[in-house]
Structures are given as structure tokens and as C-alpha cells.
Amino acid sequence: MELASIQNLTFTYPEQETAVLSDVSLTLRPGDFAVLAGPSGCGKSTLLRQLKTVLAPHGQRTGTITLEGRPLDDIPAQEQAAKIGFVLQSPDSQIVTDKVWHELAFGLESLGVSNTEIRSRVAEMASFFGIQTWFHLETNQLSGGQKQLLNLASIMVLQPQLLILDEPTSQLDPIAATDFLQTIGRINRELGTTVLICEHRLEDVIPMANRLLILDKGKLIADETPMETFDILRNLDHPMLL
Ligand code: ADP
């Protein structure tokens, strides 16, 4: 069984001569916690964005991307919005309303879910994330860590199957970062959501991960359990280990 699959993906940005991703293949199975790592500029962000059509950069693309066996491009934006959650680096750029409770409800409102259902799902997620105490605050009163948790909770209200995170803690202080990553671990364990995360705090995420993927100069050079991937890196004498 596979949830999402990328096969032989090669991608080149407009007016560039060399491909930023070369012949990348990877398959995510339901329940996976996959960490994507690699040197800065190796194409991690470009790769993650291929998995949601509205975020995919313009350029020349070959290969196939599927979700539950269907080509991603054939899946309507609204369905992708519900099934594929995406958390980006900047906590501020993703908040779209002025109140915490409204932020949590917003995605469900856009999907036309009934008010009763919205209320129950929002209450459930507020409790899961422990954000009842700031439920009635204005979003601009929140700390960076709270904003990023709110972004995550607003996505989880939609019950996505796949949660993708691109350096979600890079603008958080160390305590908020660890707290945020622990929450991602709980989401994976307790809700069963499949996670694909690009995160430089490897010491926080490796213990939760069943797979560690290494991208180097646009090529996937390892895709194994963390222990096996570290062995591969050691055998290659890879600078990432230094
Ligand atoms: P990473 O997330 O691993 O740091 P990125 O996916 O952000 O890497 O970038 C990979 C490469 O693609 C980098 O060399 C970057 O400069 C280049 N790049 C990113 N966005 C664009 C763009 N819109 N046009 C051209 N090149 C880009």
C-alpha cells in the first residue's frame, strides 16, 4: 500500500541549464515518519513542493507524482487542500484570519462543512494541541511558537492523510522548536498521519522517524531507516556527518 509516490522526477527551474532534482523516486506508506535532510541548496524545498500542486514551482518536470494511486494533477485543489497539509518556515505568512478560533475553523468553512461539525472538530483539535487557553486571543497576540502550532492545528482540523513540513522550526526559539516537533511526533503516533519533514534539528526528529532520506545535489542518495542511512553516509564519508 502506498499513500504518495514520486517516480523518476526530474525538475529544472525556468532558464536554468541543470536540473535541480534528478531522477528522484520515493514512496510514502501510510503511517511513515520520513525525514528529508541534505546540504543547503540541494533541492529539499523544491522536492517537498512537488507534492502539492498549488505550491509546486514553475519549471520543466518529467516523471510522475501520485496520491493514493491517482496522478496529483488530476486531484482537484480542494481535495488536495484537505488531504495534504503543508507547514512552511514562516509562522506569520500562513495565518489568514485575526482570531485563533476563526483560524481553526477557516479551512473547514472553505470546504463547506456544517457548523456543528466545525465546532466539534475545532474543539477536538484545540484540546489535542492544548490551545484552549488562548482560543479567544487575536492571532497577532501570539508568540512565533504559538503561531506555528496554530498553523499546524488549523491543518490537522482538516484531517489530512499527509503532513509535509518544510523547516517548520527555523524561526522558533529552541524550546518552542522542541515542543513543536514533539507535537509532530504525537500526530504521527496518535492520529496515524503520514509525515514528511525537512528539519535541521535532526536530534529531535530522528528518534521519531522510521525513514531518513538524504538528498544531495538533487539526487536521493539514501532512503532507509535512520541507522541504515547513517551507515550509508559513513561508507560514503559524507560531509553531512561532520
Ligand atoms: P534546499 O531546500 O535544499 O535548501 P531549494 O529547493 O530551496 O534547496 O533550492 C535548490 C536549488 O534551486 C538552489 O540552488 C536554489 O538556488 C535553486 N532555486 C530555488 N528556487 C529557484 C527559482 N525559483 N528559480 C531558480 N532557481 C531556484
Tens digit of each residue's pLDDT (9 = 90 or more) over 200-212: 999 999 999 999 9
Q: Going by CA atoms, what residue is nearest to atom 6 of ligand 1?
A: 43
Query: Which atom of ligand 1 lies closest to the CA of 58?
Result: 23
pLDDT for 7-31, tens place per residue? 999 999 999 999 999 999 999 999 9
Ligand 1 neighbours by CB, cut-off 6 Å? 13, 16, 20, 38, 40-46, 57
Say how far apart CA 61 and CA 211 lie, in whole Å: 26
Whole-Å CA distances, 200 to 89, 141, 204: 12, 28, 9
pLDDT for 72-122, tens place per residue? 999 999 999 999 999 999 998 899 999 999 999 999 999 899 999 999 999
pTM score, whole prediction? 0.96
Q: Which residues have a Cβ under 8 Å from the Cβ of 235 and sit 6 or more positions away? A: none
pLDDT for 49-73, tens place per residue? 999 999 999 999 999 999 999 999 9
DSSP structure class, residue 132: G
